Amino acid sequence: MSLHALEPNAGAEHSHGAGQRVSMQYENIHQQNESYLVGMWSFLVTEIMFFGGLFLAYSLYRVMYFDTYLEAHQFLLQYNFLGLMKGGFPWLGTINTAVLLTSSLFMVLAVYNAQIGQRIKTILWIGTVVACAMVFMVVKYFEYTNKLHEGLYPDRNFNYARALYILKTEHAGHDSGGHAENPRANRAWTAMKEAEKAGAKLSEEGLEIPATQTAKLTAGMDQRLTSIPNGTIAFSVPNVAFTHYNAEAQHARLFMSIYFCMTGLHGIHVSIGIAMMVLLMFFYWIKHPCVDDYMPLEMIGLYWHFVDIVWIFLFPLMYLIS
Amino acid sequence: MADIAHGHDDHGHGHGPVNPAVEVIQHPKPSLYWLTYAILFVLLIVTVVLYYIDLSAATRWVGMNFVVAMIVAVIKAGFVVYNFMNVRGSTKLTWLWAVLGFVWLMLMAGIFIDYRNRPSQGGWEQPFVRY
């Protein structure tokens, strides 16, 4: 009530009941609601600008290195949980999309209950949204740790050859169709096989270039792209297969960078959403005056739907490249 | 806690003196939300099934799968924006802001087309030179 102390009776003259109070700078409750919403929408437009640039970067590189994208996106499909989620089907992405769509529904129901003044129901519906968001983050956790263990995180331990080797050998048993047979999605693998013929050692550790293969020293050789065994000095190999592989690995690294950047940023948005919703649940629980008005929840709802929309685009772009 | 606000159509906005110049936000009924959810779920299944159908080979154009997947995604996003984010019942100013986001994406598409048309990128006609 202290929030609106200047006009204690402002809300009473409106049909919305005592819950929504008109602050002194507004003509009436409708104008106040509109300015709340427009404020939130303008924030969302800045978010669109922010994600839009990333989608542009994704699109440009996708067109440039489409074959690499096609090959690298298979890593997002490989996940085996208790033998249930067989490779080749985008389990994690599909589950997360379904979870987010469901949470969006729960969010609008929470907002609806806030509008009709059902405080307990509102808290419960927000709770279901938070639960969905938690499920999303847990799935994301498994997904990310899987990538980290396979050496696909684009830091200095990035080892595309190793990840590809594991993909082609360990997961080959239960690759049900999908795009593994597509020759366009085999460029790096083909290059690795040819490099192996040329003398490089292909194993679980990745692609190792023996010192005997090396011809001339190149300072610009990117050591991060291959596994360099101890006692070996990295040289540029005048073998075209290895050069091919190196280019493919760099493009795959780009794909993984964009993947981690976009899904990670989306994950941060989900985390912020969780924090905001838990805060709102607390406010509803203690009957804080700021949630007498349903607008705070409505605005968090708008934010949440925006997060959902970003995922609606990320899912086919990242997981379903065909 | 019946004193939480309700902004519903059936609770009559007409009691107080409402300035006619101010637009009133309309809120839909929950049945619409459930319907929207069902549609979104069906579209999710469509998205996943599309992954396994090679439209590109059928239509002899390599970008077909991508374009159809994006159209489905845009339809899904449209349902979320229109029904869940309640643009359907919002004021004209909110509409304007929602459209602005779309305008920005069009700008991004314009930059994309410009960039891909440049000779350094091979233009549209020639395949991109790989190295």
User: What confidence score (pLDDT) does residue A17 get?
Assistant: 40
Listed in sequence order, the residues at least 6 apart from B63 whose beta carbon sits closer than 8 Å to its beta carbon are B56
Please say if the pLDDT value at position A2 is more than 80.
no
Q: Across-strand partners of B79?
A: none
Q: Of all helices (H) and strands (E), which one includes residue A134?
A: helix A119-149
Structure token digits, residue A193: 């096989």
Q: Left, alpha or beta for B128 (phi > 0: left; psi -120 to 50: alpha)?
A: beta
For A201, the 3-state DSSP assignment is strand
pLDDT at A246: 81
The pLDDT of residue B11 is 44
Tally Cβ neighbours within 10 Å of residue A16: 27
pLDDT, position A234:
53
pLDDT tens digit sequence for B103-118: 999 999 999 988 888 7
pLDDT at A198: 74
Tokens of B24: 């009133």
More confident residue, A99 or A156: A99
How would residue A197 be classed by pLDDT, with cut points 50, 70 and 90? confident
With contacts defined as CB-CB under 8 Å, which chain B residues touch A37?
A: 25, 90-91, 94
**How far apart (Å, rounded) are the C-alpha atoms in residues A154 and A253?**
6
Query: Rounded to whole angstroms, how far apart are CA atoms B25 and B91?
Result: 6
Share of chain A above pLDDT 70, in %: 77
Query: Which single residue is written with the structure tokens 């291959």?
Result: A226
* ipTM computed for the complex: 0.81
What confidence tens digit (pLDDT) does each residue in A79-96 have?
A: 666 556 666 788 889 999
Q: Rounded to an integer, what distance in angstroms lies between the CA atom of residue A101 and that of residue A77? A: 20
Which pLDDT value is given to residue A215?
42
Is the Cβ pair A60, B80 closer than 8 Å?
no
Tokens of B9: 């159509």
Identify the weakest region by mean pLDDT among A96-100, A169-173, A216-220, A292-296. A216-220
CA B85 to CA A301: how far, in whole Å? Answer: 8
pLDDT of A119 reads: 92
- Closest approach of A127 to chain B, Cα-based (Å): 18
Contact A34 B93 (CB under 8 A): yes
Calculate how close chain A gets to B125, using CA atoms only, in Å.
Answer: 14
Amino acid at A125: W
Strand partners, A201: A208
pLDDT of residue A276: 96
How many Å apart are CA B55 and CA B51, to the nearest integer? Answer: 9
CB A312 within 8 A of CB B80: yes
Tens digit of each residue's pLDDT (9 = 90 or more) over B20-43: 566 788 888 899 999 999 999 999
Q: Are B40 and B74 in contact (CB under 8 A)?
A: no
Going through chain B in order, the beta strands assigned E by DSSP cover none
Find which of B19, B29, B84 to mutate to test the A interface (most A CBs within 10 Å of its CB): B84
What does the pLDDT read at residue A5? 40
Segment 302-321 of chain A within 8 Å of chain B by CB? 302, 305-306, 308-309, 312-313, 315-316, 320
Query: Does B108 contact A101 at a Cβ distance shorter than 8 Å?
Result: no
CA-to-CA separations, A214 to A91, A202, A218, in angstroms, rounded: 43, 16, 10
CA dihedral sign of residues A95, A59, A74, A88: positive
Paired tokens of A249: 């690995």
Answer whether A292 sits within 8 Å of B12, measured CB to CB.
no
Top pLDDT among A7 and A154 is at A154
| Confidence tier at B15 by pLDDT (50, 70, 90) | very low
The predicted-structure confidence for B54-101, as pLDDT tens digits, reads as follows: 887 788 777 788 889 999 999 999 999 999 998 888 888 999 999 999
| CB-based contact B5 A63, cutoff 8 Å | no
Q: How far away is chain A from the Cα of B9, in angstroms, using its nearest Cα?
A: 11
**Burial of A147 from C-beta contacts in 10 A (0-12 / 13-18 / 19+):** buried
pLDDT band at A165 (very low <50, low <70, confident <90, very high): confident
Pairwise CA distance, residues A225 & A152, whole Å:
11
Interval A6-26 mean pLDDT: 58
The token pair at A69 is: 């994208």
For position A38, what pLDDT does the model report? Answer: 94
Chain B residues with CB inside 8 Å of A96's CB? none
Q: Note the pLDDT tens digit of each residue in A104-161.
A: 999 999 999 999 989 999 999 999 999 999 999 999 999 999 888 888 888 888 888 8
Q: Do A38 and B52 touch (CB under 8 A)?
A: no
The β-bridge partners of A203 are A206
pLDDT, averaged across chain A: 81
Name every chain B residue with its beta carbon within 8 A of the beta carbon of A115: 4-8, 27
